[in-house]
Amino acid sequence: MIRYAITEDKLNAEIDAISPTWRDRAKDRIETFRTAQKYDEASSMWGEIKSVYRTLQHDKCGYCERILEDKRDIDVEHFRPKKSVKSFIPTNQPPYPYSTGGAWDEGYYLLAYHPQNYLIACKMCNEALKKSYFPIAGTRQQNDDPKQMVSENPFLIYPIGDLDDDPEMLLEFVGIFPKRRYLSGHENRRVEVMIDLFELDIREKLLIGRAKIIYALWLALNKYPQDQRSQDYIHYLTSSSSAHCNCARSFYHLFQQDRARAEEVAGYAIEYVMENRSK
Ligand SMILES: [Zn+2]
C-alpha cells in the first residue's frame, strides 16, 4: 500500500474537468440524505468520476496494490461505508485485545458523495473482504467532512492525498510479506488490522505478484549501473505506477543495506514463484 499524492483542490479540479456539475449534484444529494438521516437513492453517480481515481492510482487497487487489468475488477470504494457498518472481528486469529468500534447502523451517509471518501479497489478487497467494515479506535462521528473526523482514529489507512498517514511510514515488506514498522501503539495496530482485514499476508495472488517483482528487481539491480535499460526498469518497478511498489521499495532498500541478504530473499522469491507457477 502506498500514498497517491494529490491536494483536495487538485482532486476537485480533476473531478470538475470530467464533469463540471458533479460536485453540485453531489451536494444536493448529501442534503437529501441529511434530511432523511440515511443513505437512500435509486441510482448512484460516483461511477461518473471513476476515471479520476483510476488515473491517480495508476489503475492499482488502493489496498492490495495489484494492477487492475480487467475493468470489471475496478470498484469505486467508499472508505467510510455509506450505509450500516459491521463489527470487524478477525477470523483467522483470536479477537484483538482492543476495541475496533463495533457495529453502527447509521453508516456514514454524509460521506456518500465526498471525493475524499473514494478510492478504487479490486473486487476482492472491496466486496469480498472490506464489505462494510470500518474499524476505529475512537468514537464514531456523523460528519460531512473527513478532515473533521480524525478523532475517530480509524484502523484502515486512506491512501489518497495527505488526510491520513503515509501508508509506507506504517507498513513495509520483508521479502513478500507485509510488516509493521511500529512495534507498538495505534500505528502498530492499524497495520495489524489492515493485514488481517485485507489478508495481505496470505493471498497467493499477492504473494506471487510481489515475488515476481522482487526477482525482476534483483536481476535489474545486478546489471546496474552499466545498463541504461536496467536503470529505467529499476526506476519503473519502484515508482508508484508499478504494482506492489511498497514491496519493491522495501527490497530496493534491503539491497542497498545488505546485498547478501537481498540475494537470499530474491532466491526465496523465485522459488516461491516456481513452486506456485500453476496457480
Ligand atoms: Zn485489492
**Distance in Å, CA 2 to ligand 1 centroid:** 12
Q: Which positions ≥6 away from 274 have C-beta within 8 Å? A: none
**Distance in Å, CA 37 to ligand 1 centroid:** 31
Whole-model pTM: value is 0.95
**Distance in Å, CA 70 to ligand 1 centroid:** 13
Cα–Cα distance, 23 to 58 (Å, whole number): 23
**Distance in Å, CA 125 to ligand 1 centroid:** 4
Q: Distance from CA of residue 243 to its chain's centroid?
A: 12
Contact yes or no for 15/8 (Cβ under 8 A): no
**Distance in Å, CA 85 to ligand 1 centroid:** 20
Query: Based on C-alpha coordinates, what's the Rg of the chain?
Result: 20
| Residue entry with cell 487489468 | 69
**Distance in Å, CA 42 to ligand 1 centroid:** 27
- 234-263 core/surface letters (b: 16 or more CB in 10 A; e: else): beebbebebbbbbbbbbbbebbeeeeeebe
Per-domain boundaries in the chain = 8-162, 204-275
Cα–Cα distance, 10 to 19 (Å, whole number): 14
Pairing of strands 118-122, 171-174: unpaired
**Distance in Å, CA 258 to ligand 1 centroid:** 31
> What pLDDT does 279 receive?
66
**Distance in Å, CA 230 to ligand 1 centroid:** 28
Residue numbers in the chain where pLDDT is lower than 50 = none
